[in-house]
Amino acid sequence: MKKLIALLLVLVMTCGLVPAALAVNEDVEGKVVVYTSIYQFVIDMMSAELKAEFPNLEVEFFYGGTGSLQTKLTGEMETGTLGCDMMLVAEPAYSLELKEGGWLHQFEVENAESILRFPYDEEGYWYPVRVCNMVLAYNPELYTPDQLPKTFKEFAEDPSLKGLISMGNPLTSGTTMAAVAALSDKYGYEYFDALGANDVMIESGSVALGKLETGECKAVMILEESVLKERKEKGSKIACIYPEDGVILIPSTAMIVAEEKSANMNTEACEAVANWLLSEAGQKLILEGYMYSVFAGMKEVPYDSVDTDGLIEKDMGVDWVRCYTQREEIRTEFQERVTVD
């Protein structure tokens, strides 16, 4: 009798009278193009996770630095339609600009007020999904703490560091742009004069880290995640200095393009992807990418890092409205005073 019942169940399921279980988010379909400044290795992890989560959705990433993405988008805006459906950019200032220009789609993240520990647009046009941390870094195998700057101010002004410091380019990097906006807000444009007088080198994070290894640089201004990645994946001894005048936390935002102005007019799928990024699974991936989670109450931190709440207490803060409305002025002042080619 038991064998007969089992056989009947198999026949019923085979005939389709009992539907098979649906795959996770199988109903999310079509294509979504995402412009992003996230590191390629994070994009690769994200692509694999999204494919598993949304098996019938094609998610295509286009990577570029913030400056190059802004240039690309400016050109596309002239046509009235963007080449993407979503954006994951470095900082909120550009989100403010796109919202004001009417380029964004409004959407809701459930319980945003209770789950997010960083600011978001209360009208629902952008939300932070990851947090970067601008710090200083050095090589403890070559220099001792008493030979190094303890603050961002000392980094720019200490004559013993002349020609031995490096940082990114705010003309192309959104996170560096946010950092120099915060530092010029705190210390005035004289901070740029000090950087220029101290012969700061303007170069990529990978080049700067290489110069720390060789001793060509004593200290560099860099994203913490770049240091953590080197420490874990390459066994590097390079270490972070968390400046006493404040770290610079940079929430990076997710935005959805207004449907009529988007590449694939698939805002429903975009909302599903955005909400996944703000799920536990999505935030775990952010931590694996050496960045901080935006979740309130998240105790886990990136590899070999420090407590998020403690960093928030030490955050110098960025005036995102100034970073947007005075972007060209800040860039011009930096370029002229620091001499960026």
Classify burial at 102, counting beta carbons within 10 Å of its beta carbon; exposed 0-12, middle 13-18, buried 19 or more.
Answer: exposed
In this predicted structure, the answer to whether residue 10 has a pLDDT above a threshold of 70 is no
CB 294 within 8 A of CB 129: yes
Segment 69-76 shows an average pLDDT of 96
In this prediction the pTM is: 0.90
Report pLDDT digits (tens) over 209-261: 999 999 999 999 999 999 999 999 999 999 999 999 999 999 999 999 999 99
* φ/ψ (deg, to 5) at 289: -85, 10
In this predicted structure, the answer to whether residue 6 has a pLDDT above a threshold of 70 is no
- The conformation of residue 337, written as its DSSP 8-state character, comes to I
Name 165's bridge partners.
Answer: 219
